[in-house]
Structures are given as C-alpha cells and as structure tokens.
Structure 1
Amino acid sequence: MLNRYNPHAMHQGYYRYPTISGDTVAFVCEDDLWTVPVEGGIARRLTTSLSMVITPRYSPDGQWLAFVARDEGHPEVYVMPAEGGEPRRLTYQGAERVEVVGWTPDGDEVIYNSTAGRPPREVVLWRVSLEGGLPTQYPYGLANHISFGPNGAILLGRHTGDPARWKRYRGGTAGVFWIDRTGSGEFTRFQPTDGDLTAPMWIGERIYFVSDHEGIANIYSCLPDGADLQRHTHHEEYYVRYPSTDGKRIVYHAGADLYVLDLATGENRLIPVELRSPRTQAQRKFVETDKYLQEYTLHPQGHSLLLTVRGKPFTMGNWEGAVLQYGEPQGVRYRLSRFLNDGTRIITVSDASGEPCLELHTPDGVTRFEAFDIGHPYRLEVCPTADRIALSNHRFELHLFDIEQRTLQLVERSEYGMIEGFAWSPCGRWLAYSFAPNERTHIIKIYDTETGAIHPITQPEFRDVLPAWDPDGEMLYFISLRDYDPVPDNLQFEMAFPMGMRVMAVVLRKDIPNPLLPPPRPFEETK
C-alpha cells in the first residue's frame, strides 16, 4: 500500500538517484548530493560540486559514498565520507558514460559501468579499490548492472538503462538479465517478464527488479527460477527509476519525489523532503543572450526583428527603440513566431492550453485558435500576400491555415518522412515543399492554392529538401543530396560522403534561359 503525503506542503525540488543506509537516504538535487532521514524531514547538502553529480551509492558499512562527477572534464568515479567531507577521485579513464552500480560485498571496491576503451554504446562493468589504483574489468562482456546472490551466484543486467527514457521499448536493445544460479560461471538468459527490464537486486531468496510490461515501470520480484512473480509498487503515472537497496528496503524516485519500499512489511511510502535551498540556479541573473536565442525572423519591411528567447517572443528595432515582449510573461512557451504580411500582427505557437495551438497577437489583443488540431508543429511560414500560413508537424503533414476564414486544410501527408522545408512564392499563390514519397528519397512539389493541384517538380531519385524561390518567382532553388563521391574517413576505417549536397535550381517557365549558361556572343565584337 502506498501511503500518500501532500508534496505541495513541502519546499519542492527534483530528487533523483536515491541510495539508503540505516536511517539515512542520500540523493541528488540541483546537481549536488543531499541526505535526508528515511522518515523525511529537512535535507542537508553534502556537496557543492563544480559539475553534475549522479548515481551515489552507500558502501555496505555506510561509511562511504561513491558517485560520478565531471569536476575535471569527463565523468569519473569519486568517493567521500558519508557524513560529508572532501571528495576523492578514484578513476582516470576518460570515458563518455559512467555510472556507479554498487560495491563489492566486502565493501573494499566500488563497482561501476563505463564505456572506457570501447565504442560509445558498449557498456561493461569495472571495479576500483576504495584506496584508488588501476581499475579491474569484470569478464562478463556487455553489462550495466550486477547483483550478487548466495553461494557465489551472480545476476547481470545487459542493456539495463533507464526505461523511462524510452517507454515501453521492445526492440533489440531492451533490458535483459543473465543469471549464474550456482556460481559455476555458466550464465543463462533470465526473463521473468516480457517488458524492458532494469535494476536487478538479489535480496535474500528473491530477485527484485523494475519492469514496464504492464505499461508503467514498477518494482516486481520473483524466485531465482522465475516463478512466483509479485508486484510491489503501484505507480500509474510515473516510472520507477534508479532503485537501490540496503538489503531490507528499496529506495527509488518516481516523478520528482523519493519513495521507500519496506520489504518486510510491504509498505511503500513517499519520503517527504524539505529542501531549504537558496535555489541559486533558479535566481534571476544576467546572461549572454545569444546563448538562449532560439529563433529570429525579419520584419517584412526589414526595420526590426522578431526573436524567440527561452520560449518568449520579443520584437526590437535593428538600431534603436524598446524591446517589447508578447504573450504571457511566464508559464507559457512560445515558438515558431512570425510577422504576418502587414508587419503589425504576429502568429505564434503556444502551449498555454496544454497542447500546441496557434495564437494571433494584434495591437487589440490575443486570439487563440484552440479548436484546430495542428499536432506538434515543426515549421511555419507566412504567406507574403494574404492572411494564411503553412505549417508542418510530427505526423508528416503539411497544413494551410486561413486566419481570416478560420479554416485548417490538409495539403498532403507522407507515410514515410517529415516535410523537409517549404516556401511561399512571392505572389502568395504557390507553395513549394519537400515531400517523402518513400523511405529513401524526398522530392520537391508545388501546391496551387487556387485550384488545389499538386505538381511534382523533381523525381524520386535523391533527397531534395529546403526549397526557396527567387525574388521574381521564376526559379525554384533547393538543396539536393545527390553527389555519391566516397572518400576515406579521417577518424573511422570506412568511406564517407562529406560533400554530398548541392544547391540546385529549377526554371519554372520555358521562355527563361538557363541562368548558369553564358549568353552566346558573336565571334567579333561590333564597334
């Protein structure tokens, strides 16, 4: 049974990577280590790290905390006294991915997984002495987790990452377990459920783990032979993530909160945390604005800019004048903001209602078009002559929205790929766009907004994307990936295509000569 606590009565943080020893839980918040009593209370900060801290683990005797930090560049394993003190670096391998998994049963070595000396996705297990020195690689091949059972038994987790990052994944790299039940060194595949498995913990006579085979990842357990499957947590919204155990209890985080599961009583409850933090990272500060610039577009007359900075739209003159913010000051994210053709109104995509919707900002107020299902828009372009916009979304659709008539029209939907760019003609009648007719190619098409006719411009032979019109509307430019000239790669032992793209142009009228050919001249110039 999950006892509930009112989290809104507490000073809130986002709590991750818990580990437990005795009556104390250590966890990560604001990229630092904290501790809190298992019954809840005021949290105490242990570190003020120069970098992000992840995956802390208490030693079996509760005297040490091992964790991963990036204080000197790459993620490495550190150790510090559990009560606080100066961290000490244990590894110097320069890997891209490192996570502390636990400790050896005698508490003399820290166990961690790492990509050290291997390709980026190949994770293996290592151990390093509490006193430092050269790490030792376990001879088990690819593995993310390890847990020790009685009489030398070993349980390995392969591809056992964080299922919350790819919910209900069932592909070839879903988490699986391998088990040596007798300590003989012979491993067999162990799959107690058909879900994405992670975090194996051999506790007493049962094996505890996380699985999402029922939709949301929760903690389950079974016997070493896979029998007697039992469910221990009952979260219905957020996945159980990064559990760890002291042999009697399991702590984990779900959503932004910490929970503890008592294995003896079956009680599962939230740990109420009072985070008395100054919240330095959330305080108002002056920053280099270019780091937060997301989008920009020029006014139709060229005298000002429309910027999107940290999800907020602003307009500003090119040389002088005030900076004006549009929309809600806080709490709403805006994107794909554009001037309409008259330069006095702005169209944007807002999440104020919870789902993306179009908003029209005028000097008289804001109009929100919530009745139209536009999906998750990726691109948006404004017609230069009328109150119409074109937008593409995550469903591989291209839509036209008429602001005056308040109508949404589907131009075309691909079964195979994204709409890779589109552009209005200068007269506003034609819309050129890149369409995927199959899984391997994109072609350029032109849509006639007056008749509804669609005209293919290129053939499905290459990947033609990002169309653009010339100012007179007589030529159409686009980028084409069509140069298959392989050259040796400088970093990997294979061939590569570093110069595969070309700028192409299509002449749209028969009477327009090829602009790349010089006009013919007579043999002798007339004087």
Structure 2
Amino acid sequence: KKTTLTLAVASLLSFAPLSMAEEQTQGWDVSNPQGEFKDIDISVNSGTWMNVDVSPDGEYIVFDLLGDIYRMPFGGGDAEKLVGGIAWHMQPVYSPNGRYIAFTSDQGGGDNIWVMDADGSNVRAVTEETFRLLNSPAWSPDSEFLVARKHYTASRSLGAGEVWMYHRSGGSGVQLTERPNDQKDLGEPAFSPDGKYIYFSQDDTPGKTFHYSKDSLEGIYTIKRFERESGEIETLISGAGGAIRPTPSPDGRYLAYIKREDFDSVLYVLDLKTGEHKRVYGKMERDMQETWAIHGVYPTMDWTPDSKQLVFWAGGHIQKLNIDDGNARIIPFKVETEKKVQHALRFKQNVEADQFDVKMLRMAQVSPQGDAVIYEALGSLYQRSLPNGEPQRLTNSEDFELYPQYSRDGESVVFVRWNDEAQAQVIVRDISSGNEQVLNTGQGNFVEPTFSPDGKHVVYRKIRGGYLISDKFGLENGIYRVAVSANAEPEQIAESGHLPQYGARNDRVY
C-alpha cells in the first residue's frame, strides 16, 4: 500500500458564510432550513418512543410521532395533527382544566417549553432559553404553572438536570431542585394532584461522574419527591431495578412507575396510602437507565380520569391497561402525513486510488530531542523529521502497528504489533539499525508500552479480550513489566490501570 501522509488535521469543508449583517437580517429559522428537500408520504399505525397523554375529560389522547404532535379519540382511529413541520415537537401534556397542551419544541432554535390551545391553535413559547435548554413539561393542578427539566453541562458533553417552574405566560422561572453534580441525570418531573409534591427520577448511583457500565439490577435511578412548602426532598422508591417515570393518578392514590427486572422493563403501581407495590405489566420496551436520557428514561404515560387504567406506549402501539386485572389492549391509531426530507450532502470518493492523503493521525509522539515525530496511520507507524521532513514508514511489516513510544535517549522505540495468529507482540526497535526485539510477554492483547528511564525495562497494559480470542489468555488484565534483556519473564505489578508511565527515576510506575 502506498500512501501520501500529511500532519494536517482533516480539512474543513468550504462554505460561503453569510456576513454578520446578512445573518442579523436573515436570522436562523429551524422550520425553514437551507438546502434541497423532497416530500415523502407516511401512513403508519405503529411508532417508536411515543409520549402519550389523556385529556382530563377522557375524550382524547395526544401523542408525538416523528417530531409531530397528534390528537385522536380515546377509543382510537385517525389521528389529527396539532403541530408539525420540520421542527421537532414532543412530550405533549394536557393541562388539568383541559384548555391547553404543553409540549417540548426546538422551533425557536433549541428545546424549550411551548403551549398551545387544546385544538392546536395559538401556539406560543413559555420559555426562551438559549443555552440551558428545557424539556419534559408537567402542569400544576390549577393549570397556571409548568415544571420542566433544565439541562446543565460542564466539562463533559453529558450533563445533569434541575427542576424549574414557570408560569404558563412565560418568565424567567424559579429553580426548585439543585443538581447534586454536573453529570448525574435528573428529570421526568410530575406534580401530585394536590400540588403538594413534585415527583422526579434521578440517577442516584454513588460518585459524581457518569459511567456507562452501571448495574441496573442493583439500581440506578430512584424516584424522589420535592415538597413545595418546605423544599425537602425524600427518596420514595429505590433499590433493585431502580425506579423511573413517576406518574401519579388523578385521585392521588397511586403512583405508576417503571423498574428493571433482569433485562425487562416492568410497569408497577405504588399505593401511596398502603405502601404496596403491585406489578401490573411486564412487556414494556427497554428503558434507558444505563444511558444518558435527558428527555426522560421512558416516554410519558398517563392515567384515565377515573384512575383505573394506564395509557402508555409499548410494543410500537398505544395501549391501555386495567390495573386491577392486568388486561392490556391496543388503542389503534392511524397517522397519514407528509414530511419533508432533506437531500443528503454527499461527496464522491475514489476508494480505489493508489495514493491519497491520510487525514487522521494517531498516537503521535515527539522524540526527546524534539527533532522527530512518530505516529500511527492506517495501522502503520511513520516517522518524520521536524519541522519539515517527509514521512517515512518505520517498518515494512504488513501487520498492524500501534502505541509507539520513544526511549529517553531517542535511539529506540517500543510499540505493539498485531496479527491474528501471534496476537499482540511488544516490539523494541533500534531506530538507526532497524534491529527489532520481540519482548517475552506471552500471548494476549497488549497496549500502551513505555520505556523505563534507563531503557532496561518496558511496562505495558494487558487488557481483556476473551470475547474475541481464546479464553486461555483472554481473561487476564493488569499492568506488567518486562526487562528488555533476552527471554526475561514478565511480572505483573498492578491488577488494573491505564497509561502506565515511569517516574523520573526507575523505581516508580504511575
């Protein structure tokens, strides 16, 4: 393979930007983006991740589908579009007096809370956040106020939520809960029917940082409630399987929620008077407890006005469940609509070219003298003189080569070579002569080798690979050290870790 390499990062696509005056005059409208579009017809009777709500009089169900909001009779049938277009609208919820529907929409440029009349007319924004965006609206019992989840980010792209309250006419809002840290999620707020409490779900795992490898069986989310008068917060439901999507019944007697049983998301009802937890439905779709779910861990659901049935989305359909006998029935719907789809921007690529510029270089290491740099591209190691040298292949191997590190004197480099037969090998190569030495590490998957200051040892990390390679050597893990001298046996110096590095002297590894 022949490649022409550059140290430049990927080139940016060239556009003709608007001047500042043109931007201020033209503005940016989510509903009228630039580009070429085509119209597609949609006719469906099922959907994915649909938020549903029942009108206070029990006559209608509202739901979202493909970024539009629909209304249909409670018994099912043809759905009427209330708000649609290119902007994304979701999470519709009726006000208790039945006059309004609140929802989340990005039609103003980012997720905010909007309100429309129950027939879809008179659409207006309640919040106008430009950075700390909002979702998951819920009404106060008097239909005058809304609570919502406000999203905060810090050093990581993921973030945490707070519950804020707004008057339906707008305003800057009032903070009700304070995020405990910048990475643990909180959301799905809901008023109690008497207005005394606000329920919400929260990632309550230990620590201050978000991790993907959480155990849902031990419990990730808990359901808490905020007492409006005192400001106190208590944990209402916790433990194995967690608890999400708190949904109080209109009579205030029950709280519906979802928990995890093994790999299944299961619908439960808590009797707030007796404290009894009742399992009522076991075929919910998989919730998002392990992930980052800023718009809710499960779509919204609702009770019928008599507090005897629950209406929710599962299995692609809107369903109603009698909580006494556990009988669930599908409420059929049909959506016929037209959506605009933008033509994808595509660039022709010649994948058969003999030469091409590589625009992603990895694991770059500058020599101790600062006169050269070594890096990996397309699975091979290259070296070039600084500042203006031409890239040169370090080896002529056809195997993958990764994780290069210079010795302290700059005369040698250690790296990992991989092929499917020998697996990973830790290689020490003399740069001037090209002589190589394969260190005695045994078989396994090795990464991140580095020299000791005196060049006599190499430390490296052995990682698990049992799902892809033989279990004879794929289940070990840890930090190892091996002498560069011939046939030296490796020794494990730590059970786990990342990026092992020697200190200034030879006596410590960090």
TM-score range, shorter chain: 0.5 to 0.7
Q: CA deviation at 1:276?
A: 1.4
Deviations 1:143-170 (A, max 9, x none): 4234444776535324269xxx979744
Distance 1:153 1:167, change over 3 A: farther
Deviations 1:469-494 (A, max 9, x none): xxxxxxxxxxxxxxxxxxxxxxxxxx
Deviations 1:101-158 (A, max 9, x none): 3101111111111126988623111121122233122156564234444776535324
1:212 aligns with 2:260: yes
Q: CA deviation at 1:174?
A: 2.6
1:195 aligns with 2:229: no
Structure 1 equivalent of residue 301 of structure 2 = 244
Could you tell me which of 160, 165, 175 is aligned with 1:122?
A: 160
1:131 aligns with 2:169: yes
Q: CA deviation at 1:96?
A: 4.5
**2 CA distance for matches of 1:39 and 1:156?**
29
Q: CA deviation at 1:223?
A: 3.2
**1 CA distance for matches of 2:132 and 2:255?**
30
Deviations 1:278-330 (A, max 9, x none): 3443xxx754324xx8xx56325469x9xxxxxxxxxxxxxxxxxxxxxxxxx
Could you tell me which of 148, 159, 165 is aligned with 1:112?
A: 148
Amino acid at match of 1:433: E
Structure 2 equivalent of residue 392 of structure 1 = none
Q: CA deviation at 1:457?
A: 4.0
Query: Which of structures 1 and 2 has the larger relative contact order (alpha carbons within 8 angstroms, sep 6+)?
Result: 2
Amino acid at match of 1:430: E
**2 CA distance for matches of 1:447 and 1:116?**
42
**2 CA distance for matches of 1:421 and 1:220?**
51
**1 CA distance for matches of 2:118 and 2:277?**
35
1:271 aligns with 2:331: yes
1:446 aligns with 2:414: no
SS in 2 for 1:207: strand
**2 CA distance for matches of 1:100 and 1:38?**
22
Amino acid at match of 2:240: D
**2 CA distance for matches of 1:90 and 1:236?**
32
Distance 1:233 1:190, change over 3 A: same
SS in 1 for 2:338: coil
Q: CA deviation at 1:36?
A: 1.9
Q: CA deviation at 1:436?
A: 11
1:298 aligns with 2:348: no
The answer on whether the counterparts of 2:189 and 2:201 sit within 8 Å (CA) in structure 1 is no
**1 CA distance for matches of 2:395 and 2:50?**
55
Distance 1:211 1:277, change over 3 A: same
SS in 2 for 1:460: strand
SS in 1 for 2:200: strand
The answer on whether the counterparts of 1:160 and 1:198 sit within 8 Å (CA) in structure 2 is no
Amino acid at match of 2:299: Y
**2 CA distance for matches of 1:78 and 1:182?**
24
Deviations 1:351-399 (A, max 9, x none): xxxxxxxxxxxxxxxxxxxxxxxxxxxx9xxxxxxxxxxxxxxxxxxxx
1:101 aligns with 2:72: no
Structure 1 equivalent of residue 51 of structure 2 = 17
Structure 2 equivalent of residue 85 of structure 1 = 121
- How many residues are paired up? 329
Q: CA deviation at 1:253?
A: 2.0
1:229 aligns with 2:277: yes
Amino acid at match of 1:444: F
**2 CA distance for matches of 1:279 and 1:39?**
26
Q: CA deviation at 1:194?
A: 1.3
**2 CA distance for matches of 1:38 and 1:436?**
65
**2 CA distance for matches of 1:443 and 1:426?**
12
Amino acid at match of 1:298: V
Distance 1:427 1:127, change over 3 A: closer
Could you tell me which of 194, 199, 221 is aligned with 1:156?
A: 199
The answer on whether the counterparts of 2:62 and 2:70 sit within 8 Å (CA) in structure 1 is yes
Distance 1:156 1:452, change over 3 A: closer
Structure 1 equivalent of residue 379 of structure 2 = 422
Deviations 1:20-73 (A, max 9, x none): 112211111121111122222111111124411121111112221111111121
Q: CA deviation at 1:89?
A: 0.7
Q: Which moved further from structure 2: 197-206 or 235-244?
A: 235-244
Q: CA deviation at 1:75?
A: 1.3
Could you tell me which of 29, 35, 39 is aligned with 2:71?
A: 35
1:63 aligns with 2:99: yes
1:256 aligns with 2:313: no
The answer on whether the counterparts of 1:36 and 1:273 sit within 8 Å (CA) in structure 2 is yes
**1 CA distance for matches of 2:220 and 2:146?**
26
**Identity in percent:** 17
TM-score, reference length from structure 2: 0.54
CA-based RMSD of the aligned residues comes to 4.4
**1 CA distance for matches of 2:404 and 2:281?**
45
The 5 Å alignment of 1:456-471 reads: 456-457=427-428, 460-461=449-450
Unaligned runs of 5+ in 2: 1-42, 181-185, 205-210, 288-296, 361-375, 382-392, 406-412, 430-447, 452-458, 461-510
SS in 1 for 2:146: strand
**2 CA distance for matches of 1:80 and 1:96?**
22
Structure 2 equivalent of residue 432 of structure 1 = 400
Distance 1:454 1:36, change over 3 A: same
Deviations 1:213-234 (A, max 9, x none): 3421121122348842211112
Amino acid at match of 2:136: V
Amino acid at match of 1:446: R
Structure 2 equivalent of residue 396 of structure 1 = none
